[in-house]
Amino acid sequence: MFAVEFTAFVVVLGIPDGALGVLWPGMRGTFHRAIGDLGYVAIAGTVLYLFGGIAYAWLAGRASNGLLIFASCAASAVSAAVWAAAGTWALLLIGFGLFGIGRGALDAAVNADAAHQIKRLGWLHAGWSVGGALGPLLVAGLAGVASWRLPVALIAVATACVSVVAAYTARLSTYDGAPTTHHERPATLPHLRAAVVLIAFATYTAAEIGPIAWGYVYLTDHRGLSNGAAAAAVAVFWIALTAGRVALGAFGQHADARRILVASGVGLVAALALFWAGAATGLAFVAMALGGLASAAVFPVLVNVTPAIVGSAAAERTIGLAIAAAAIGGPAAVLIEGLLANAHGVQVLAPAMFVAALMLAVAIALLVRVLAGREHAAP
C-alpha cells in the first residue's frame, strides 16, 4: 500500500499544488479574470479541502483506510476532469473545490494510515515536495504545445490510474489472507489534548507558508534582489524541505520526536529572524535553506505523535481534524500577511512571518509538554 500512498502524495497532492500558480495565467485568460482572482480558486480548494479532512474524521472507523484512499482518489480524478473541461468560471470553481474535498480526505487517510511509522511519514511528505517541484515543470513543458487544460487533464488521468491501483491494493489486503479489521464506532475525542494537536498543525502551516508565498515578493520588492535570485532563494527553501523529509524517511527510526519538534521550532524562528534582519543576498539564501530544513520534519512528526497524545482509539479522527486545521492555518496566514502588506508595505512581511514562527514555537512547546506528560503517565 505504501507505493500507492507515495504515488498519491506526488500525483494528487504535490503536482497540483506546484502547478496551480503556473497554470493561472492561461486559466485567467480563458475566463477573462483579473490576476487577483486566483484567490477565489485557492479559497474554493482550501475550504473544501477542510471539509475533506472533516469527512475523513467522521468516516474513520466506519470504513477501511484502503477503501477511503480509493474513494478519495476516485473523487479527485472526477473533479479534476470537471476542472479541466470547465466551460464557465463557476464550473471551474466547482471542479477545483470538489478536487479539494477529495484531496483533503486523501491527505487525512494516508497520514492516519502511516501515523505510527515515522520513516514512512518522512517518505510520504518528501513525495509531496517532489510533486510540488514537478508541477511547474509539467506545465512549463507543455506550455508551447497546449492550453492549461492538457496539464489538468493529465493530472485527472494520472489520479484515475492511482485510484484504480488503490482499489486493487485494497482488495488484495482484504482477500489475500490479510485479516479484515472490524470497525467499531469511534471513541470520544479527548478534547483538550486534541485541541493542542490542532493548534500545532494550524500554526505549522501558518509558519511554513510565509517564505513560500511571500519570499519572492519580499526579496524583490523590499530587498532589491533580481527576479532570478529571488526565485532561486525560494527554490532553495523547497530543496531543503525535500532533503529534510528524505532524511527523516531514511533515518527516522532513530529520531526522538520531542527533540525534533523543539529543534524545528527554534530553527524556524532563527531562520525567519535572519530573513528579516539580513540585507545581503547570501543571508537570504542561508535563511531560506535553514527555514526549509527546519520546516521539513514538523508535519510528519506531528502526525506520528498524535496517537500518543490523544490515544490510539481517537487518533484517526484527530488526524482528520488536524488536516482540516492545517488547511485553515496556511491560507489564513497568507491572507493576514497580505492585508498587512497592503496597509503598511511589503517590509512588514518578514516580521509577520517571524511572528508566525514564534506562534508555532509556542504551540510546539505546549504540545511537547503534553506529550511528555502522557509518556510519563504511561505504564
pLDDT, one tens digit for every residue, the chain (379 residues): 788 899 999 999 989 988 887 788 888 899 998 876 877 888 888 888 888 888 888 887 777 878 888 999 999 999 999 999 999 999 999 999 999 999 999 998 898 888 888 889 999 999 988 888 888 788 878 876 678 999 999 999 999 999 999 888 866 554 444 444 444 445 555 788 999 999 999 999 999 988 888 888 889 889 988 888 888 888 888 889 999 999 999 887 777 899 999 999 999 999 999 999 976 778 999 999 999 999 999 999 999 999 999 988 888 889 989 998 998 898 888 888 888 888 898 899 999 999 999 999 999 999 999 998 876 655 4
Q: Find, among 369, 368, 371, 340, the residue nearest to 354 by Cα.
A: 340
Burial of 295 (0-12, 13-18, 19+ CB in 10 A): buried
**Number of compact structural domains in the chain:** 2
> Rounded CA gap, 86 and 99, in Å?
13
What CATH number did the domain enclosing 236 receive?
1.20.1250.20
Cβ proximity of 18 and 132 under 8 Å: yes
The answer on 157 and 45 residing in a single domain is yes
Give residue 182's pLDDT.
Answer: 43
**123 and 259 fall within a common domain:** no
Would you list the DSSP string of 259-315? Answer: HHHHHHHHHHHHHHHHHHH--SHHHHHHHHHHHHHHHHTHHHHHHHHHHHHH-HHHH
Q: Which of 126, 148, 175 is the last residue of a domain?
A: 175
Instruction: Please give the pLDDT value at position 117.
Output: 87
228 domain-assigned:
yes
Read off the DSSP letter of residue 180.
P
**Domain, as residue range, for 213:** 191-377
Residue 180 included in any domain: no
What pLDDT shows up at residue 231? 80
Query: What is the structure's pLDDT at 34?
Result: 83
Task: Classify residue 183: in a domain, yes or no.
Answer: no
pLDDT of residue 367: 96
Closest by CA position to 124, among listed 114, 134, 132: 114
Is 105 inside a domain boundary?
yes
pTM above 0.75, yes or no: yes
Indicate whether 200 and 166 sit together in one domain. Answer: no
267 and 141 in a common domain: no
CA pair distance 115, 196, nearest whole angstrom: 17
Report pLDDT for 91. 96
136 lies in the same domain as 215: no
Take residue 309 and report the three cell numbers written for it: 497524545
What is the grid cell recorded at 145? 504545445
Same domain for 165 and 195? no
| Same domain as 32, residue 62 | yes
What does the H/E/C string look like for 29-68?
Answer: HHHCCCHHHHHHHHHHHHHHHHHHHHHHHHHECCECHHHH
